Amino acid sequence: MLSLSPLLSVGVLLLQASQLVLSTQTHCSTFTLRNPSVNAVVANTTFFKANDTVAITNPFSSIDVSDLPAFCRVVLAITTNATAKSTAHAEIWLPEPQTWNGRFLGLGNGGFGGGVNVADLGFVAITQGFAGMSTDTGHLSSPLDGSWAGPHNDNAINDWSWRALHLSTVAGKEVVQQYYGKPHHKAYYLGCSTGGRQGLKEAQRFPEDFDGIIVGSPANWMAHLSPWGIHVNLQVMPFDSPRFIPADTWTNVIHAEVLKQCDAIDGLEDGILNDPRKCSFRPETLTCRPGQNTSTCLNVEQITAVHKIFSTYFETNQKFIFNGYYPGGEVGYPFGLVGTFAFQILPDYYRFFVLNDTSFTIDQLNDTVIQLGETINPGTMDVVDPDLTAFLGPAHNGKILQYVGWADQLISSGNSIHFYETVHAFTQANTQLDIDDSYRLFTAPGMQHCLGGFGANAFGGTGQASMGMPPASLDAEHNIVAAMVRWVEEGHAPETLTATYWNHNNFTEGVGFTRPLCKYPQMSMFKGGNPNDAGAFLCV
């Protein structure tokens, strides 16, 4: 090489570069998985050159972009139970060897959904240089549809609950090793909602699968989330009853009054409650006067409903069920559990997983039914056991970063706090571990379920970038995935994250403001300065 003329050596380099492209393309299209430790075969591979159109749709997720770096898409068919011939499909998206960051990133699903999370494979994994993996959870369906689980489709229930993700992770890592000729050096996971539940399940049941697990607002307690959701919904239903609260009333009347009573608590009247725990909202101030236009006030039944929706729900035997909604997120709540959305997803848990009775309607909920869900725990889907020691402890030294929006309209943010607190208490009572060394929870004021809302809500979480809300930077301050990588690989734990509100939740419209996400139990307080800048706030 040294004796070659400069011109010739450039030519050789160009030749090598084009051979590299050709050879990875061929390597991709001819790739097969040899001797996998689980029953998996390559169903399809496709090589996408840089900026090729990537347009893929399934009932759970879709992507349509033409600005990704080159990658190889490997589709695996995995047998999850040979006797039943049940299968799951997983996709592994592999960046070019020279752009691969050496890491594995598993991506979660949502609701009852079945389908590979192609959106995050592109917008998170490939964009950031990870070898990404996502499973279809063993079936194809929209997130709202649980009918695939019945009647008695136990293998499908197990696959969705835990089995497909675990087997896909094991097989996905083997694909990575055989494709690149060397193993990944660290494995990460990112998921929200059902994806959050999947992450906690992995931490508990298969602590070796991942080194760092990022969990957004987890649906980890379906046996309590489902009845709580139904309970909340029943407070305002049916539509034609006096207690029904229209969306406009939630926004223009209730939210406006919440802000009047509580917005200043964090030091800044900006329409966002930084710590709704501090807001003791009194809806009585909205009671209708004689002759008042009823779209500007609340009747007595509506006031009772608001109280119940915001309060912790107790069963008749005073057993704790779930945390109520927090004040501050009213603009989203009618599009969550106190609106029609709830009709689609809530009864399916009982219809197809617990009671196996398609005629079940939400008004039939009673204590016996609630107890049955808890006892059956279909597919062992729930993660309520607070013992995560195998993952968090010195045997594995894993890390969990959890996040939740205070305005979550589907799973009360109180559930994230409740789970964190139960793990904290267990860990403290039974181990020498300091939970802060391995498990941290960050709260996002004004953020709705997993993404969106009216607070600073873009920080690299699941689904955010693909919905037009990418992190402002891929560094560890603005991107929770990078924050996790730094924690796992450099031992530098995140104290805060900086989130961005893009105008109209669309990055093409520019930055509206930035805010810190504080580590629970801290909240952010305005200390003065430019309120659009995260630096004007303190976590205290």
Ligand X SMILES: *[C@@H]1O[C@H](CO)[C@@H](O)[C@H](O)[C@H]1NC(C)=O
Cis peptide before 521 (omega within 30 of 0): yes
- CB of 514 within 8 A of CB of 536? no
- CB of 400 within 8 A of CB of 480? no
- Residue ranges in 485-514 that form contacts with ligand X under rule CB under 6 A: 506, 508-509
d(CA 149, CA 254): 38
Residue nearest to ligand X (CB): 468
**Considering the complex, what minimum distance in angstroms separates the CB of residue 402 from ligand X?**
26
Helix (H, G, I), strand (E, B) or coil at 455: coil
The site for ligand X, by CB under 6 A, has a size of 27
46 binds ligand X, rule: CB under 6 A: yes
- Residue ranges in 287-306 that form contacts with ligand X under rule CB under 6 A: 293, 295
- Bridge partner list, 497: 517
Torsion of CA 298, 300, 303, 307, to 10 degrees: 180
Q: What angle do CA 398, 403, 407 make, to 5 degrees?
A: 165
Nearer to ligand X, 367 or 434 (CB): 367
127 binds ligand X, rule: CB under 6 A: no
d(CA 88, CA 78): 5
141 a catalytic residue: no
- Residue ranges in 298-357 that form contacts with ligand X under rule CB under 6 A: 354-356
Q: Among 61, 141, 193, 217, which one carries the catalytic annotation?
A: 193
3 a catalytic residue: no
Nearer to ligand X, 23 or 428 (CB): 23
Instruction: Collect all residues with Cβ–Cβ distance below 8 Å to 292 and sequence separation of at least 6.
Output: none
- Determine the distance from the C-alpha atom of residue 92 to the mean position of all C-alpha atoms in its chain, rounded to a whole number: 19
Choices 21-29, 46-54, 475-483, 524-532; region in contact with ligand X by CB under 6 A: 46-54
Q: Binding string, 453-482, against ligand X, x = CB under 6 A?
A: --------------xx--------------
Among candidate residues 34, 304, 371, the one with its CA nearest the CA of residue 178: 34
- CB of 38 within 8 A of CB of 171? yes
Q: Among 141, 217, 408, 413, which one carries the catalytic annotation?
A: 408
361 binds ligand X, rule: CB under 6 A: no
84 binds ligand X, rule: CB under 6 A: yes
**Considering the complex, what minimum distance in angstroms separates the CB of residue 44 from ligand X?**
4
Among candidate residues 502, 499, 529, the one with its CA nearest the CA of residue 515: 499
Nearer to ligand X, 148 or 487 (CB): 148
Choices 104-112, 179-187, 325-333, 363-371; region in contact with ligand X by CB under 6 A: 363-371
Instruction: Collect all residues with Cβ–Cβ distance below 8 Å to 421 and sequence separation of at least 6.
Output: none
Nearer to ligand X, 369 or 433 (CB): 369
- Bridge partner list, 306: none
* H or E element in which residue 232 lies: helix 222-236
**Considering the complex, what minimum distance in angstroms separates the CB of residue 274 from ligand X?**
26
Choices 77-85, 97-105, 280-288, 316-324; region in contact with ligand X by CB under 6 A: 77-85
266 a catalytic residue: no
- Residue ranges in 366-425 that form contacts with ligand X under rule CB under 6 A: 366, 368-369, 376, 378
Q: What angle do CA 137, 140, 146 make, to 5 degrees?
A: 85
**Considering the complex, what minimum distance in angstroms separates the CB of residue 430 from ligand X?**
30
Query: Kind of pairing, strands 86-95 and 496-502?
Result: unpaired
Active site members: 193, 408, 449
Interacting residue ranges for ligand X, rule: CB under 6 A: 44, 46, 50-51, 81, 83-84, 152, 154-155, 158, 293, 295, 354-356, 364, 366, 368-369, 376, 378, 467-468, 506, 508-509
